[in-house]
């Protein structure tokens, strides 16, 4: 087994040189179907820490399969804090965590004289990528008319090509979750316990309401999150409310309570088309700092850059942790949650001169408490 076949969460690695990486890529700038993206070149020679093994990932493109919402990937990791800057993709602001194939990395304790011994294998493709420019050229789909909107090609759009379907019942994935350091035993126990409880709630035997009540009571005693799958209060077909708080990067906000947020959701759990996911419930009632406003993202299904009708808010450190995600438990992808401003409220800091910009530019439709909405990738 080579050094690079056993990267675990917490390991330190060095990104290989540009020349070494280019030798692993086929003529489309990919390795095992996964594109090497232009902004990744800036990390060549950099010492970084493995965040998690990317042996599996969630499927955000094909949502037709009931039991196949995960995909398995070969020889890849996520590096801590290394996200896409979107510059090569029309300014996409999704900030996805990047995938790194093992062949693009070496262990940080490998000396320069040893690096040549574990040099990555050249791609099996006869015509390999020749230069960094070839990688840039691969960011757009070929054969589109000059008047058509660009169709971007990135790691997120190519997940199906770089992976295989992974049913939730395959046991090896959970063994690898633990062996790779992605998930500890306590977290695994909690995840499996929740999924078992969720099955009883949805069993259709009349126990849903009392089981949710017991769940909430137990969580309240231990200071945990309430039952995370409830239905929005606004009738179907009714327009959902909105608020503009003029939030800017660095502002402190408190996420409203789950009950308050439910008052702003329709029965599809959406506000202005954006879905409030169960993964967001543990963040309710907590204080965070605004990371940025998101106005445009690449649609992973089409590759087209789309403007959001209503900008969303991304909060520092607030990502999907795949605690309650059906058929994709313990996914390491850590997608940022998108929040509507009506799900948030400002935390005013006494003496902060920046508070003068904190007046909302649009009044709420009515006195509701929810201020924000998260979409994952839903528009």
Q: Is the pLDDT of residue 356 over 70?
A: no
Whether residue 145 sits in one domain with residue 277: no
Q: Is the pLDDT of residue 114 over 50?
A: no
| Residue 143: band (very low, low, confident or very high) from pLDDT cuts 50, 70, 90 | low
User: Residue 141 sits in which domain range?
Assistant: 3-110+125-163
Average pLDDT over every residue of 154-165: 96
33 in Cβ contact with 131 (< 8 Å): no
Q: What are phi and psi of 178, to 5 degrees?
A: -80, -45
What percent of the chain is predicted at pLDDT more than 90? 74
Average pLDDT over every residue of 146-172: 91
Cβ neighbours around 223 below 10 Å, total:
6
Average pLDDT over every residue of 358-368: 39
**What burial class does residue 298 get, using C-beta atoms within 10 Å of its C-beta: 0-12 exposed, 13-18 middle, 19+ buried?**
buried
Q: Taking Cα atoms as reference points, which of 152, 151, 173, 160 lies closest to residue 62? A: 160
* Residues 6 or more apart in contact with residue 138 via CB below 8 angstroms: 28, 29, 30, 35, 153
Alpha helices (runs of H) in the chain, residue ranges in sequence order: 18-22, 112-115, 132-137, 159-162, 172-179, 185-201, 208-222, 258-262
The residue ranking higher by pLDDT, 272 or 67, is: 272
Alpha helices (runs of H) in 223-334, residue ranges in sequence order: 258-262
Q: Is the pLDDT of residue 23 over 90?
A: yes
- Whether residue 363 is contained in a domain is answered as no
Q: Is the pLDDT of residue 30 over 60?
A: yes
Q: Phi-psi region for residue 153, left (φ > 0), alpha (ψ -120 to 50) or beta?
A: beta
| Residue 5: band (very low, low, confident or very high) from pLDDT cuts 50, 70, 90 | low
Q: Which two tokens stand for residue 310?
A: 């209503």
* Residue where the block lists tokens 């050229």: 137
Into how many domains does the chain fold? 3
Average pLDDT over every residue of 98-104: 97
Whether residue 65 sits in one domain with residue 131: yes
Q: Taking Cα atoms as reference points, which of 262, 321, 253, 249 lies closest to residue 292? A: 249
Whether residue 198 sits in one domain with residue 324: no
The pLDDT mean for the chain works out to: 87
- Whether residue 377 is contained in a domain is answered as no
Residue 131 is predicted with a pLDDT of 83
Q: Which of 275-279, 285-289, 346-350, 372-376 has the lowest mean pLDDT?
A: 372-376
Whether residue 193 sits in one domain with residue 134: no
Average pLDDT over every residue of 273-281: 96
Q: Taking Cα atoms as reference points, which of 91, 85, 83, 102 lies closest to residue 31? A: 102
- Whether residue 243 is contained in a domain is answered as no
Q: Which of 4-18, 32-46, 71-85, 129-143 has the lowest mean pLDDT?
A: 129-143
Residue 256 and residue 194: Cα distance in Å, rounded? 24
Residue 169 and residue 47: Cα distance in Å, rounded? 36
- Whether residue 51 is contained in a domain is answered as yes
């Amino acid at each position: 087994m080579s050094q690079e076949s056993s990267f675990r969460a917490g390991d330190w690695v060095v990104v290989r040189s540009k020349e070494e990486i280019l030798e692993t890529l086929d003529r489309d700038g990919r390795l095992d179907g996964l594109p090497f993206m232009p902004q990744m070149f800036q990390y060549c020679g950099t010492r970084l820490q493995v965040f998690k093994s990317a042996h599996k990932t969630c499927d955000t493109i094909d949502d037709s399969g009931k039991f196949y919402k995960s995909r398995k990937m070969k020889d890849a990791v996520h590096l801590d804090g290394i996200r896409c800057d979107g510059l090569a993709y029309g300014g996409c602001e999704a900030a996805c965590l990047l995938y790194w194939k093992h062949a693009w990395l070496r262990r940080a304790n490998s000396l320069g004289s040893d690096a040549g011994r574990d040099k990555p294998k050249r791609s099996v493709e006869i015509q390999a990528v020749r230069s960094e420019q070839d990688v840039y050229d691969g960011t757009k789909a070929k054969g589109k008319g000059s008047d058509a909107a660009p169709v971007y090609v990135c790691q997120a759009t190519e997940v199906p090509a770089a992976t295989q379907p992974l049913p939730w019942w395959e046991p090896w994935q959970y063994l690898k979750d633990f062996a790779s350091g992605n998930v500890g035993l306590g977290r695994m126990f909690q995840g499996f316990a929740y999924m078992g409880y969720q099955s009883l709630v949805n069993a259709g035997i009349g126990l849903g309401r009392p089981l949710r009540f017991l769940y909430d009571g137990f969580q309240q005693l231990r200071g945990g999150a309430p039952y995370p799958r409830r239905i929005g209060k606004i009738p179907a077909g009714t327009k959902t409310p909105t608020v503009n708080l003029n939030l800017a990067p660095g502002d402190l906000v408190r996420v409203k309570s789950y009950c308050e947020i439910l008052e702003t959701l329709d029965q599809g759990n959406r506000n202005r088309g954006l879905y409030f996911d169960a993964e967001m419930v543990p963040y309710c009632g907590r204080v965070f700092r605004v990371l940025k406003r998101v106005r445009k993202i690449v649609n992973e299904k089409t590759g087209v850059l789309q403007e959001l009708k209503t900008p969303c808010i991304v909060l520092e450190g607030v990502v999907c942790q795949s605690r309650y995600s059906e058929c994709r438990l313990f996914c390491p992808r850590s997608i940022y949650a998108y929040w509507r401003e009506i799900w948030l409220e400002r935390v005013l800091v006494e003496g902060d001169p920046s508070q003068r910009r904190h007046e909302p530019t649009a009044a709420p439709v009515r006195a509701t408490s929810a201020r924000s909405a998260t979409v994952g990738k839903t528009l």
